[in-house]
Amino acid sequence: MTQAYDIEVVVFDVLGTMVDQPGGLRAAIRDAVPAADETTLDRLLALWLEHVEHEQRRIEDGERAYADSAALDREAAERVAERTGLTDPAAVRHLATAGQRLDAWEDSRTGLARLARRFPVLGLTHASRATLLRLNAHTGLRWHQALSAEDARAFKPAKEVYQLALDTAGCPPERLLMVAAHAWDLRGAQAVGMRTAYVQRPGGDPPGTADTFDWHTDSLNDLATELTSAA
């Protein structure tokens, strides 16, 4: 078991871990298509998320040139508009920027602040630089530094994205702790030697039976308590 005193820097996934991405996108779709019932909203959200995930895989596999998260979100919003008959260009543009207005989970600000008093804290996210700037302003999340995968022109779990955090921290990978609600993200961090902490979130990707993460917690406040008390 990794001890907290082994950790120098804490790195956080953002989308889904620090902010409610599925809930925020669903709310934005509801605003754009107010006549949609709950089942339709679920289908439209799935359409959005599946498009983004599919295109990220195509980029990872070399089947498509890199496009940042804002571009993929625009494409997803256009697909939602096509499916629902939404034709107002301003409404489609506003929907496409929903990723800038996602709300933080209830414990994100307090947990981050508690950990930031003990460790340097980094955000590491798929969100484009422009999206990340506005998302940080909207949520009030306060990092010592926030890094966009746009700088690596790749998406996690590509090692180039985690390398951004390693280069910024300037310490051995085993002294960085990656915090995420997605087991696939933590596996990517493990592959470059980082320590890992899984935080349970609605809609996240839970660990499998073969996963061996260093910490498993139900909230960021629980993680902050474990790390700061141990340190």
Q: Are residues 205 and 143 in the same domain?
A: yes
130 with 192, same domain: the answer is yes
Average pLDDT, the chain: 96
Domain boundary (100, 134, 155) is at 100
Domain boundary residue, one of 47, 71, 100: 100
Segment 106-124 mean pLDDT:
97
pLDDT tens-digit series, residues 163-217: 999 999 999 999 999 999 999 999 999 999 999 999 999 999 999 999 999 999 9
Q: What is the percent of the chain with per-residue pLDDT over 70, rounded to a whole number?
A: 97
DSSP classification of residue 33: -
For residues 211 and 116, state if they share a domain.
yes
CATH number at residue 62: 1.10.150
Q: φ and ψ at 211, to 5 degrees?
A: -75, 140
Q: How many structural domains is the chain composed of?
A: 2
Residue ranges making up the domain that contains 57: 21-100
Q: How far is the C-alpha of 222 from the C-alpha of 205, rounded, in Å?
A: 19
- On whether the CB atoms of residues 29 and 95 are closer than 8 A, the answer is yes
Position 148 scores a pLDDT of: 98
- Asked whether residue 132 falls in the same domain as residue 76, the answer is no
Looking at the structure, tell me whether residues 107 and 88 fall in a common domain: no
Length of the chain: 231
pTM recorded for the entire structure:
0.94
Is 86 found in the same domain as 113?
no
Q: Which two tokens stand for residue 98?
A: 């929903």
Question: Is the pLDDT score of 2 beyond 60?
Answer: no
CB atoms within 10 A of CB 57: 12
Q: Which CATH number does the domain housing residue 197 bear?
A: 3.40.50.1000
Q: Give yes or no: residues 129 and 150 share one domain.
A: yes
Residues 123 and 51 in one domain: no
Q: Name beta bridge partners: 137.
A: none
Domain check: are 116 and 197 in the same one? yes
Same domain, 55 and 9: no
Residue that is last in its domain, among 100, 132, 161: 100
> What confidence tier does 1 reach under pLDDT thresholds 50, 70, 90?
very low
Verify that 124 and 155 share a domain, yes or no: yes
- Per residue in 3-47, pLDDT tens? 666 999 999 999 999 999 999 999 999 999 999 999 999 999 999
Are residues 123 and 75 located together in one domain of the fold?
Answer: no
